[in-house]
């Protein structure tokens, strides 16, 4: 996933899912991998659209997005989620690009970045904050909608079923990525530098008022008992 697409390259993806009036997601594939990826879109009050972990979509899906609002802010949630970012900036030259502060150097290897997560202004419906305990290498989006609040994580939390074959073996036994909601073994090894701080931040997020769901950048959202699930993950660290 370190490669990037300079041109618009559409891989297989599903139709846009409208979770809330101001919150859409799209699930797509990755080349040569069984890992699915998720793009999250948030429409702000002024009609601007925030794009998190972008995926190049077909013409019909892009037309839906453009009819919904104006793509204005692109969030690259870490240096491994930049595959389609240069192509998006070429398509929408006015996009403002932000990433976590700890991922800034590697992200700027392939695309100009306008600022880090602390500098994103999302108004009342959107807050973006760095995760504690991971040296600001990742963050979380807090999206408020009429029906409740959604937390959008990146690689800090996975929610995948066990797979088959070699990749299924690797995801299950090597990286510890499958088998339901979890903080993967790989993320703990590579990203978590202060386990206590990370645990406490997850607990704080678990107490988010009117928490409706947790969206992750790979596979399924967590919709059943999201707060309790987040607390359980924190206790297992």
* Per-residue pLDDT tens over the stretch 182-229: 999 999 999 999 999 999 999 999 999 999 999 999 989 999 999 999
Statement: residue 31 has pLDDT above 80? no
Least confident segment among 47-51, 77-81, 171-175, 212-216: 171-175
| Per-residue pLDDT reduced to its tens digit, 101-123 | 999 999 999 899 999 999 999 99
Query: Taking CA 192 as the corner, what is the angle to CA 186 and CA 195, rounded to the nearest 5 degrees?
Result: 125
Token look-up 């029906």 returns 147
Statement: residue 162 has pLDDT above 80? yes
The answer to whether the beta carbons of residues 26 and 13 sit under 8 Å apart is yes
Statement: residue 87 has pLDDT above 70? yes
SS3 21: coil
Residue 55 is predicted with a pLDDT of: 97
Mean pLDDT throughout 94-100? 98
**Banded pLDDT at 2 (limits 50, 70, 90):** low
Residue 152 is predicted with a pLDDT of: 98
| Per-residue pLDDT reduced to its tens digit, 121-155 | 999 999 999 999 999 999 999 999 999 999 999 99
Statement: residue 163 has pLDDT above 90? no
Q: Where are the domains of the chain?
A: 17-236
Rounded to whole angstroms, the Cα distance separating 129 from 214 reads 15
Statement: residue 3 has pLDDT above 80? no
**Which residues, in sequence order, are CB contacts of 67 under 8 Å at separation 6+?**
none
Mean pLDDT throughout 146-174? 90
Residue 179 is predicted with a pLDDT of: 87
| Per-residue pLDDT reduced to its tens digit, 32-63 | 777 899 999 999 999 999 999 999 999 999 99
Statement: residue 1 has pLDDT above 90? no
* Burial of 21 per CB tally in 10 Å (0-12, 13-18, 19+): exposed
For the segment(s) 17-236, the CATH number from 3.60.15.10, 1.10.3720.10, 3.40.1390.20, 2.60.40.10 is 3.60.15.10
> Which pair of tokens denotes residue 177?
């990525």
């Amino acid at each position: 996933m370190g490669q990037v697409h300079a041109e618009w390259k559409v891989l297989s993806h599903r139709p846009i899912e409208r979770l809330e009036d101001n919150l859409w997601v799209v699930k797509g594939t990755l080349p040569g991998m069984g890992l699915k990826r998720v793009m999250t879109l948030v429409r702000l009050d002024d009609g601007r659209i925030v794009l998190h972990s972008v995926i190049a979509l077909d013409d019909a899906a892009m037309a839906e997005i453009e009819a919904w609002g104006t793509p204005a802010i692109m969030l690259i949630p870490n240096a491994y989620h930049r595959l389609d970012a240069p192509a998006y900036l070429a398509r929408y030259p006015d996009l403002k690009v932000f990433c976590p502060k700890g991922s800034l150097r590697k992200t700027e290897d392939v695309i100009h970045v306008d600022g880090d997560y602390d500098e994103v202004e999302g108004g009342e419906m959107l807050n973006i904050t760095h995760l504690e305990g991971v040296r600001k290498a990742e963050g979380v989006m807090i999206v408020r909608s009429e029906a409740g609040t959604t937390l959008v994580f990146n690689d800090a939390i996975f929610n995948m079923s066990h797979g088959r074959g070699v990749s299924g073996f690797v995801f299950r036994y090597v990286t510890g990525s499958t088998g339901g909601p979890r903080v993967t073994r790989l993320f703990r090894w590579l990203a978590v530098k202060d386990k206590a701080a990370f645990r406490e931040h997850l607990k704080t997020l678990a107490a988010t008022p009117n928490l409706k769901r947790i969206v992750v950048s790979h596979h399924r959202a967590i919709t059943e008992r999201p707060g309790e699930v987040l607390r359980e993950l924190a206790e297992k660290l």
